[in-house]
Amino acid sequence: MVDTTTDAPPLGHEVLAAVLQVRAGSLQVLLWERAMEPHAHRWSLPGGRLRLDEDVEHSIRRQLKEKVDVRQLAHVEQLAVFSAPNRVPGPRLVASAFLGLVPSDNDPELPSDTRWHPVDDLPLTAFDHEAIVLRARNRLRAKLSYTNIGFALAPPRFTVSALRELYSAALGYRVSATNLQRVLSRRGLLEPTGDTTRPGRAGGRPAALFRFTEPSMQVTDPFAVFRPPAAKPS
């Protein structure tokens, strides 16, 4: 008979959210500055301990609402479980990490210790939070290829040019507006609203406004992959 008893303390469980948004032309993540040790003054993902009376998704939505006023999340999904024994100092703590997306027209009110940071230029982060942010970025980039998840980055109505800027920022390379419109329209993801932008001071033809046909995540082409444009030979 094997003795399975142990004197180890109970396993702690926290939930964390990598909340991403395209801001000022770049993909950015929401981080808050820690005030106490360990890792004081490093930047951390929002989140906290899981309560006994809630599941992980309810917990992260509650904590985001309470701590950073992110109430208009267009999409939330579980990203991964981070369970390395030494991921934080002290008693072992497992993290359930989530990816959250905020549309580009939303500007949440933030506490003074919380800021948006470009994912490609992160400050010094606490614990394994940089790895979580990069996992979230990679998940988003992958899903932009084979799902309609772009709806969670875009405002309710947009021009194709504006949508191209959002995809380009999230994917990390310049996307062709013509190709993007062709691909998304062929999959039935875009539809014209029938409206156009207002003419600018310089005149010119107003741009047509579009919207996503479905404001919830769907797999649209499981084998599709957006690829960076091939480098031109020197």
Per residue of the chain (234 residues), what is the pLDDT tens digit?
Answer: 445 555 556 689 999 999 999 999 999 999 999 999 999 999 999 999 999 999 998 999 898 888 777 767 899 999 999 999 999 999 999 999 999 999 999 998 888 999 999 999 999 999 999 999 999 999 999 999 999 999 999 999 999 999 999 999 999 999 999 999 999 999 999 999 999 988 766 666 889 999 999 999 999 987 776 777 765 555
Burial of residue 9 (number of CB atoms within 10 Å: 0-12, 13-18, 19+) = exposed
- Taking the C-alpha atoms of residue 42 and residue 69, their distance in angstroms, rounded to an integer, is 21
Whether residue 1 lies inside any domain: the answer is: no
Q: Is residue 2 part of a domain?
A: no
Residues 122 and 205: their CA atoms lie apart, in Å, by 40
Q: Do 114 and 154 share a domain, yes or no? A: no
Q: Where residue 206 sits, what CATH number does that domain have? A: 1.10.10.10
Give me the torsion for CA of 57, 59, 62, 66, rounded to 10°. Answer: -140
User: Is the same domain home to 71 and 90?
Assistant: yes
**228 domain residue, yes or no:** no
Dihedral sign for Cα 203, 166, 74, 49, please: negative
Domain span holding position 124: 12-145
Tell me, yes or no, whether 57 lies in a domain.
yes
- Could you tell me if 124 and 164 lie in one domain? no
Indicate the burial class of 188 (C-beta count within 10 angstroms; 0-12, 13-18, 19 or more): exposed
Residue 157 lies inside a defined structural domain of this protein: yes
Q: What is the pTM of this model?
A: 0.90
Q: What b/e sequence results for 138-153 when a residue is b if at least 16 CB atoms lie within 10 Å of its CB, and e otherwise?
A: ebbbebbbbbbbbbbb
Give me the amino acid identity at 220.
Answer: T
Is the domain of 141 the same as that of 204? no
Residue 231 lies in a domain: no
Cβ atoms 95, 82 nearer than 8 A: yes
Q: Please choose, from the candidates 16, 21, 106, the residue with its C-alpha nearest in 3D space to the C-alpha of residue 69.
A: 106
CATH number at residue 87: 3.90.79.10
What total number of domains does the chain contain?
A: 2
Identify each DSSP E strand in the chain by its residue range.
12-23, 26-33, 43-44, 47-49, 75-82, 93-101, 114-118, 190-196, 208-212
Q: Does some domain include residue 21?
A: yes
pLDDT at 7: 59
Residue 15 bridge partners (DSSP): 48, 96
